[in-house]
Amino acid sequence: MGDSAEASRSDMEYYSNHITKLIEQLSRLPGVGAKSAQRLAFHIVNMPADQVKQLADSITGAKANIRYCKVCQTLTDQDVCPICANVKRDHKVIMVVENSRDLAAYEKTGKFDGVYHVLHGAISPMLGIGPNDIKLKELMQRLQGDVEEVIIATNSSLEGETTAMYISKLIKPTGIKVTRIASGVPVGGDLEYIDEVTLLRALEGRVEL
């Protein structure tokens, strides 16, 4: 490991300061290692200037305009996201997911006609993430309206299960039906990486808590 790190440092010495800075910034992205960052950096440098500008503009534009939906907290460039604004959706059924990627995974199935609530995380005492650090307060505020069922679709990790139990205890006293997606989703597996058939089976086989 030390040799590869040393090699990476010596490789960086051959690059100009601008390329080095670009590689360093790209390597900070999740899932991008040193070699991938180098490949991306050289690819960007060799792109036509107008394409580089489009890439840079899309990044700064997204950062400037993306916000939380006022209803479900998913990421959107509008005050209310298209799903929450759709009157054809069943707003009495709310599926609770950990992030916007999980929301997208269920939307791809085309079979869920309810709405969502995005927590933007899961409770993790080990990481110091408590109930107040995710969008739980916003969920409870929504439940003051006309809601019949809350489907908890957090991941099957320890954090996801802890979050599911916590939410269930919060909602039970309200009399609203609380269900959990069925097993079949791999333990520790993120919903975004699971095939649509498995997601549908997990949804259709949900059990009441």
What CATH number is associated with residue 168? 3.40.1360.10
What CATH number is associated with residue 13? 1.10.8.420
d(CA 171, CA 149): 10
89 confidence band (pLDDT: 50, 70, 90)? very high
Overall average pLDDT of the 76-92 stretch: 96
Q: Which of 34, 65, 96 is the last residue of a domain?
A: 65
Of 78-87, 103-112, 146-155, the one with minimum mean pLDDT is 103-112
Same domain, 39 and 102: no
Same domain, 17 and 104: no
Same domain, 50 and 92: no
Same domain, 54 and 74: no
Same domain, 119 and 163: yes
Note the pLDDT of residue 207: 75
Note the pLDDT of residue 2: 45
Same domain, 82 and 133: yes
Burial of 76 (0-12, 13-18, 19+ CB in 10 A): buried
Interval 90-126: pLDDT, tens: 999 999 999 999 999 889 888 899 999 999 999 998 8
Same domain, 77 and 52: no
Using alpha carbons, list the distances in angstroms from residue 168 to 28, 40, 151, 187: 36, 44, 10, 20
Please state the pTM of the whole predicted model: 0.75
Same domain, 45 and 113: no
Same domain, 78 and 176: yes
Place of tokens 């609770």: 96
Interval 2-39: pLDDT, tens: 444 444 555 556 667 889 999 999 999 988 998 999 99
Same domain, 113 and 201: yes
Overall average pLDDT of the 168-184 stretch: 88
**Can you read off the two tokens belonging to residue 16?**
């100009």
**Can you read off the two tokens belonging to residue 109?**
């199935």
Residue 95: domain span? 68-208
Same domain, 75 and 55: no
Same domain, 134 and 94: yes
Is residue 150 within 8 Å of residue 143, measured between CB atoms? yes
In the chain, how many domains are there? 2
Q: Which of 39, 65, 91 is the last residue of a domain?
A: 65
Compare 32 and 189 and report the one with higher pLDDT.
32
Place of tokens 């110091």: 128
Q: Which of 65, 89, 119 is the last residue of a domain?
A: 65
